[in-house]
Structure formats: structure tokens, C-alpha cells
Amino acid sequence: MNTPEKSFSHIDTETNYPTMVDVSDKQVTKRTARARSIVVLGAEIMQHLAGNDIQTKKGPVFQTAIIAGTMAAKKTSDLIPLCHPLALENCKVQINVNEQQEVVIDCIATITSKTGVEMEALTGASVAALTIYDMCKAFSHDIVIKETRLLEKTGGKSDYRG
């Protein structure tokens, strides 16, 4: 069975040098992406969970991580080379603790544009996780950012659900 060879989208096929993807001929559609990071803080830190947050000398951990994740999603093109600068229409970071006592961070980004927002959602979830690590490391360094992954994207050529 012959399948078309895939190539990296950020490599110019003529010069073999990195390049920004040309989206000028793409259709404008509503695009969303949802990414998740999972942080394992451990029992020593989780004992400080009161209500829906952990209070530290630096302030409320989850509330601060939500703001940091949102700010990071808006700055994705400043952090990741060749990402298009996007004016996000919405970015929502949600933080919950699951049954395994893991901190689950979901970042949902939305735009009506010619290019998707997967990297914005992944960046938002990642920076929220890093912020939680930073704010909790005074309690313990036994913190693990277990995973960051794209859960779904809609709009554009194809949808994805992982």
C-alpha cells in the first residue's frame, strides 16, 4: 500500500531550512485545542490543599498558575520559534485534583483563524504546571510533571481526539 510521504511542515522543501508555515491560502475557521498537564505533588504538599487551592507565602498556587498559563498561551509565538503570533479569542485554564491526588491542568484555547491553537493550549498547560512546581518547591522537590499532551483539536483540515 502506497502512502504519501509525510514531511515536517516547518522545513522548506527546496532549501531544507526552517521556515514558518505559509497559511495564506488556508480557510478561516473556528479552531479550538485542549491540552492537559498532570502534576504529582506528593502527600507532603497535598496536605496543604484547603478548599480548591494551596496557600503559600507566594500566594494561592492554583490561582497564580491559571493566570500564568493564560499569559503564556498568549505569548506562545514569543517562546516557540516559527509559531504564528495569534490573537486568542479565548483561553481558559482549569485546575482540579483527581482521585489519584494528581493536579490536572486543562488549557482550552480558541480562535477564528487560518491556523490552529494547539501550541497555545500546550504552552498554557505547561507553564501552569511549571508555576505550580515553582510555588510548591519550598515544601518539597519531589514534584513530578508527569505528562503534557494534546487531548483534542477542532477546526482546520482535520479534527483530533487523543
Q: How many beta carbons lie within 10 A of that of residue 118, not counting itself?
A: 21
Closest by Cα among 68, 81, 77, 162 to 117: 77
- Report the interhelical angle of 118-136 vs 61-74 (nearest 10°): 150
Closest by Cα among 89, 141, 107, 109 to 32: 109
Active site (catalytic) residues:
134
Among all chains, which residue has been given the C-alpha cell 483539536?
A: 153
Among all chains, which residue has been given the C-alpha cell 531544507?
A: 16
